[in-house]
Structure 1
């Protein structure tokens, strides 16, 4: 199952966990767009690599999630008995209406544009504190010391996680990304994921008890109260979606900040331009999202016969993986050199946050966090240099694209 999908005997067309692909997936995406824009993989899922096809699939209600059938097709019939996958089946992210509508409705108010904008001073304070901690050292890891701290603290604030408990989240290994990859996991990887899930559950059960005794103005209190209502949320859904909110609330933003900083330092002309014209920052964030997306793919299943998409007949039950990273570099959507970082690029419409009813709840929060983080870093540490922009350490995951470490000095 985990073999390369081959175009010729010598040239892998798509091998998402190979070191070359993890380092730079974009040449493989270009081959897919040009030769097989709707490629059927050995695990019976199509890969949609062109922007127009991806945009249509994400927004067309004839496609849904059907998480269980997609997971069983990849791992075999026993997989849904594994605690971590059973929990994932309750995520709002993996649900179709009406359950998706009900679950998303319980948390959407926490992510309105006004509430997120009101968090800007708190975001600024966290960023300044992170820089204060390391400024005198002259060096730091831009992931662990900077990009990771901000979104973890913000999501802890939103979930009402007490200050004294937060150290456990800073110390935890970031190993969950493999769960989302479209290739089967080994038994050891499933066991590790189950153990991590058990530890998360143990913590969040304590948090639920705390918020039942001491309600607060936070998402955990809101969801605990919905669970007590009975008709709004089951206990399994409460546990699963708190874990989802915590993970989704920081993982992708860490990657957005890290990938954006690396892209800037690999393109010194763009770095100099952004330093001289800080008003370009919001547009630069959109270009970072397009250029090297934190999330590289998202899956759908055809809920009925669809007809031809990308030259292939898509029938009811067919699984499609939308390659967001490929769509973002499609010359048909970005004719002006899509492989170039251009912070002045006009009409950027990145697919990075998904689309349709599953469009990322935290999109605007991630944008603001990245905007404040990167603009403050450029202002306060203008001489910062990344130690190695040529061979950085990428995390060995495909769906979530991000760096393990990014050492820098000034």
Structure 2
């Protein structure tokens, strides 16, 4: 995707500012600029950028928009970059990036493992993990909330759900970090150089590992892991093919890990900047669900999502040709004053929290119950156990990602960790 940031059009100038790494700490004034423009077509990107809540919510369920963004990026031209020995599953699209009826079919086969009831059974084990990570902060004068809590918790949870041997969990940390590029909506994953990008190397390694894990489960199914459940999943005689199963496992790891990392880290950051709300959570752990919902609105783990226009369409005064890209700035929509009063204020006590943090419509996030549970348990335990936490640096350093925007480090000092 070509992005000429020296263009004089207002939309292009805003895109240039958003892509500037110095904006990562606070992109919200830029998002306000996009809302003021209304839906804007940016010719250099062949893209429509949408920032209001109403438009984002409406377009997320518009059947004229496709989730199959690889068609826009001409992914078939990158197929030759995969090594000849790469598993065939690397070419199986994630069901997140498919349209109905394929998306509907695959989602129906997977959803039983992520119902609120199924996820609730994991609460005790996740709470124990959170306490173990916070125990690690007790003997440290400064504690990195990212590497010490927010980052390891989701990957450990999903690895244990899948039945990954504990000794191999560290491999998943590296692969997940490499594959986040696949979810960064402002980036063309294929640079045209003809060289295999780092994320693709990680993808091949991960697929190879999961293929072996699935083969082992076929020989010796277990009753308590997600891969065995997916192998047994059936709907009206329909089952997941081998490549569909492997691709789904990879999706659950990558999409479910980095997003929850950002939810927890963004939540701790917001609470540290608003000590009154941190104290309220400490005094009333039952308010943790409301805190999570406000974080999803105020500083969402996923800042934008992408669709492709299947047909010519008009959004406001802007025309989008078939094949054009539509960038839905979810983080901008969450700060839309027409949807949320006083939207720049962090306030878990709002009567109604409207957000698109898990998407909307047919692609609503399958892992939402799990992410909410992990966020609730992590934030409540942090508030309860960590005494007098203070940020070492504000703002903290951020990673380069535009979409999965999050800190690269979140150092705090504290007066101790209670048992």
Taking structure 2 as the reference length, the TM-score comes to: 0.88
Larger displacement relative to structure 2 (213-222 or 48-57)? 213-222
1:253 aligns with 2:254: no
Distance in 1 between residues matched to 2:327 and 2:128, nearest whole Å: 39
The partner residue of 2:210 within 180, 204, 207 is 204
Deviation at 1:6?
Answer: 4.4
Residue correspondence of structure 1 range 52-91 to structure 2 within 5 A:
52-72=54-74, 78-83=77-82, 87=90, 90-91=93-94
Any idea what SS the aligned residue of 2:335 has? coil
In structure 2, the partner of 1:346 is: 351
Residues 7-406 of structure 1 mapped to structure 2, 5 A cutoff? 12-15=13-16, 16-72=18-74, 78-83=77-82, 87=90, 90-170=93-173, 174-181=177-184, 182-185=186-189, 186=191, 187=193, 190-217=196-223, 218-225=225-232, 232-306=239-313, 308-334=314-340, 336-390=341-395, 392-406=396-410
Aligned residues: CA RMSD: 2.7
Count of residue pairs the alignment pairs up: 403
Cα distance, 1:377 vs structure 2: 0.9
Q: Which residue of 1 aligns with 2:4?
A: 3
Gaps of 5+ in 2: 415-419
Contact 1:38 1:49 in 2 (8 A): no
What is the deviation of 1:235? 3.2
Distance (whole Å) between structure 1 residues aligned to residue 280 and residue 317 of structure 2: 42
Partners of 1:68 and 1:89 within 8 A in 2: no
Q: Which runs of 5+ in 1 are unaligned?
A: none
SS in 2 for 1:320: strand
Q: Is the 8 A contact 2:14 2:30 kept in 1?
A: yes
The normalised TM-score by structure 1 is: 0.90
CA shift for structure 1 position 317? 3.0
Residue deviations 1:333-355 (CA, integer Å, cap 9, x gap)? 11x22111112122112111111
- 1:202-229 CA distance string (max 9 Å, x none): 21122112211221232212334569x9
